[in-house]
Structure 1
């Protein structure tokens, strides 16, 4: 059973001192020189790891809470609905926004930079639907 984490868990440490340890299990400074903290710290920091995994952890928390409250069918139903909605069979030449998926994910009330900072050239697409349908049929 999954845990009800609010924040993402800690990642595994990549650095070890097993190669430079003495008989007591400590780093041998006289033989191998001072410990390099840069080698022990991963390339990404703790905050960065948390921010990258934040949305997935929050989603997992919500699904686990629904499972405990309503049973296994509720998170399964929500995941099936997300999968169905994410398969978008509409015309690819038209501007795509998956509002249905945003509603199911709980992102319908949030604003991101892409929502209002798009330029007019990105918004204006040539609407040659016939050529796009022919291209889709060739694939």
Structure 2
């Protein structure tokens, strides 16, 4: 319930030329309690499953499964390019799930141009805008 009224903090100046006009008030949203429960449902189910496996087979199997999940979640393409993460989906069983998000709202079907590759790489390697500091002489 701590996500009820979350206002994001601005860490560095907003790049208006690359990202367009924005305000922190637009990003803040009230979260309904049911929405918070739906967001936490997959994590709760995974915790229950790992607890059950820990009780049945010992602590080594859930630890190995979590290690495999960490390794497969790091595999991906360059920022801005879609990455299917097929190995992670097969490990977690997401390949069997087919919902609206599987075919509606895909980025390759969008009419707007995708994000700028240079901006995404700068953000990944923290090379972009640096906070402005003033020194008093």
TM superposition score normalised by structure 1? 0.50
> Residue 101 of structure 2: which of 106, 109, 114 is its match?
114
For the pair 1:83 / 2:70, whether they are aligned, the reply is yes
Match of 1:71 among 58, 67, 70: 58
Structure number with bigger Rg: 1
Q: Cα RMSD (Å) of the superposition?
A: 3.7
SS at match of 1:108: helix
Q: Deviations over 1:50-95 (max 9, x none)?
A: 2222111100000001101111011100110010001125344542
Unmatched 5+ residue regions in structure 2? 3-30, 128-137
Question: Residue 104 in 1 paired to residue 91 in 2?
Answer: yes
Cα distance 1:88–1:122, how it changes in 2: closer, same or farther (>3 A)?
Answer: farther
- Give the number of aligned pairs: 93
CA deviations 1:80-132 (Å, max 9, x no partner) are 00100011253445421112111222211001323212365449x99xxxx9x
Unaligned runs of 5+ in 1: 1-10, 13-42
Distance 2:110 2:36 in 1: 32
Task: Give the alignment's TM-score, normalised by structure 2.
Answer: 0.51
- Runs of 4 or more above 6 Å deviation: 134-137
Q: Write the distance in 2 (CA, Å) between the matches of 1:53 and 1:119.
A: 25
